[in-house]
Structure 1
Amino acid sequence: MTNLVKLSKSKSITNYILFIVFLLFAIIQLNDPDGILWFSIYFYVALICLISNFKPIPKLILLATIIGLLIYSAFHFTLFVDYLHTENKKEIFGEMIYEKPYLEGTREFLGLLIAAFGVIYQTKKNNK
């Protein structure tokens, strides 16, 4: 087996893992008040990861997706900064507390960054 085939199989496996991860992210969002929005975002990224195993996705679509995810994450950046200034960092793993909107904002910010990196990986995958 050549190195190129091994590399291709490795990236394909990684993409299947990314598909499952983002699909799980999407399903988990369905219990949120704005679950449809977040389900759509994560499901879209999951589909990009899956489809790119079978055919290349145009760079323009990938770049537009990355830019969109980063712009949307920028709206949550100040909440993330607020979280960084808190003493109890473990709160991020607990339930949403309405008096602390920075918790949900931080989760959304980090989720959008993870999604953006998932799509960025696709641009690297398409280059090889």
Structure 2
Amino acid sequence: MKSNQPLSKQKKIINFILCALFIIFALLQLNDPDGILWFSIYFIVAITCLYNSFKPISRPFLILILIALLAYAAFHFSLFIDYLKTEDKEEIFGEMVYDKPYLEGTREFIGLLIAALGIMYQIKIRKRQ
């Protein structure tokens, strides 16, 4: 695929679905204490998916977004490991418990990985630019 060729209809549909999902993710963050940060992260990924459907985003810029997401995820990795060591894995779906910071850290880690996968897909579909 050359950089001036439009995306296939199937890839555009996937991007629209990704955009909608990340907008939903962004809106769900607004009730959190750090909701603006997480809204911004998910909204940037949503806009990236939408924009890349119509105009190619440069590969270096997409890689920069990916690196930023993975670097931020790295800060939460130790909390994710703490979660993996617990016996009650279902508590991740419950309320935030302040004496168990690994719950929120694990949610954030997984959210960042999902966002990174969305950006990786954008890199993949615009691979040959």
Query: For residue 111 of structure 2, what is the aligned residue in structure 1?
Result: 111
Distance 1:78 1:125 in 2: 32
State the structure with bigger RCO (CA 8 A, min sep 6), 1 or 2. Answer: 2
SS in 2 for 1:115: helix
* 1:46-65 superposed matches below 5 A: 46-65=46-65
Distance 2:103 2:9 in 1: 38
Give the residue type in structure 2 aligned to 1:35.
G
Structure 1 residue 17: deviation in Å?
Answer: 0.5
Distance 1:66 1:24 in 2: 20
More divergent stretch after superposition (59-68 vs 7-16): 7-16
Query: For residue 127 of structure 2, what is the aligned residue in structure 1?
Result: 127
SS in 2 for 1:53: helix
Distance 1:63 1:26 in 2: 21
Distance 1:85 1:104 in 2: 15
Query: For residue 79 of structure 2, what is the aligned residue in structure 1?
Result: 79
Distance 2:27 2:101 in 1: 22
The one-character-per-residue Cα deviations of 1:72-115 (angstroms, maximum 9, x if unpaired) are: 00000000000000001001111101011000000000000000
**TM-score w.r.t. length of structure 2:** 0.92
Structure 1 residue 127: deviation in Å?
Answer: 2.1
Distance 1:20 1:86 in 2: 33
Structure 1 residue 60: deviation in Å?
Answer: 1.3
Distance 2:90 2:17 in 1: 27
Query: For residue 4 of structure 1, what is the aligned residue in structure 2?
Result: none
Runs of 4+ in structure 1 off by over 2 angstroms are: none
Structure 1 residue 8: deviation in Å?
Answer: 1.3
Distance 2:127 2:33 in 1: 39
CA contact (8 A) 2:92 2:103 kept: yes
Query: For residue 21 of structure 1, what is the aligned residue in structure 2?
Result: 21
**TM-score w.r.t. length of structure 1:** 0.93
Query: For residue 8 of structure 1, what is the aligned residue in structure 2?
Result: 8
CA contact (8 A) 2:59 2:127 kept: no
Q: What RMSD, in angstroms, separates the aligned Cα atoms of the two structures?
A: 1.0
